[in-house]
Amino acid sequence: MRFVNAGGAEIPALGFGVFRMSGDEIETVVPVALEAGFRHFDTAQIYGNEAALGRVLADSGMQRSDLFLTTKVWVENYSAERFLASVDESLENLKTDRVDLLLAHWPGNSVPVAEQIAWLNAVQASGRARFIGVSNYNNHQLREAIDTSDAPIVTNQIEKHPYLDQSAMHALATETGMALTAYYSMADGAVARDVRLKKIGQKYGKSAAQVGLRWLIQNGWIALSKTARPERVAENFNIFDFTLSELDMAEIATFARPDGRLVNPDGLTPDWTA
């Protein structure tokens, strides 16, 4: 496993995300993920599966110190009354006294960034989160978050795959020393089906999905993988025994297109050009 270091955090470069996974799927797949070698798990309040993940991890016999656990505060809890209380509920669900990384899930459009960051700072200061970060912030919001936070903003978790150019965000992260975390890394299945990625993978004896994940990690990203199929878990993890050539890395970078973004929920999406 590789690690990405940012703001004092050492984050496993490959994580297992449980977005849209039912409790039954988590009960089935997460033990397989642990067996394969995954130690970084990513959930969120809005997913409705923190309790299932917490139960499986607690029953696994793994030492809590060997796991890296991320969750996200939902926008409906962005208030002085609800923010901290919602984190306490998440901790209870996850069967832990603190998460390794707590994120504000979306910037929204009704609560100032500075207030979101102040609440994250308060949670970290209370010991309920080792590190804090954000998700789905645009460049302007991220810079404001970094400038106003008392503690390092260690990551911005955003959509990233070969079809979406995030070079401006990558430049800001490099400038400020923070990490970027990629979600939707399979582009809703398009990566695994891409004949160009399959052709590249043939040179290494790897699948298109493995090439896509490896490309992210070689570019310095933290990559979240996800599958509800136990037989696919080991494939997603086995990306550390090969290295893409510079030519292959450059070719994949040309796959980005203007309509590459897939995640734009109404009422949550910021101005991505800002």
Q: Domains along the chain?
A: 3-253 (3.20.20.100)
Confidence of residue 59 (pLDDT cuts 50, 70, 90): very high
Active site residues: 47
Rounded Cα distance, 41 and 229, in Å: 16
Residue 194: the pLDDT is 98
Residue 7: the pLDDT is 97
Confidence of residue 123 (pLDDT cuts 50, 70, 90): very high
What is this structure's pTM? 0.97
**pLDDT tens, 42-51?**
999 999 999 9
| Cβ-contact 89, 60 below 8 angstroms | no
Rounded Cα distance, 73 and 148, in Å: 19
**Whether pLDDT at 100 is above 90:** yes
What tokens appear for 209 in the block?
């999905």
Mean pLDDT score of the chain: 97
**Whether pLDDT at 109 is above 90:** no
Mean pLDDT, residues 142-164 taken together? 98
Mean pLDDT, residues 12-25 taken together? 97
**Whether pLDDT at 159 is above 90:** yes
What tokens appear for 238 in the block?
């086995």
* 161 annotated as a binding-site residue: no
Mean pLDDT, residues 261-269 taken together? 94
User: Which residue is listed with tokens 């609800």?
Assistant: 82
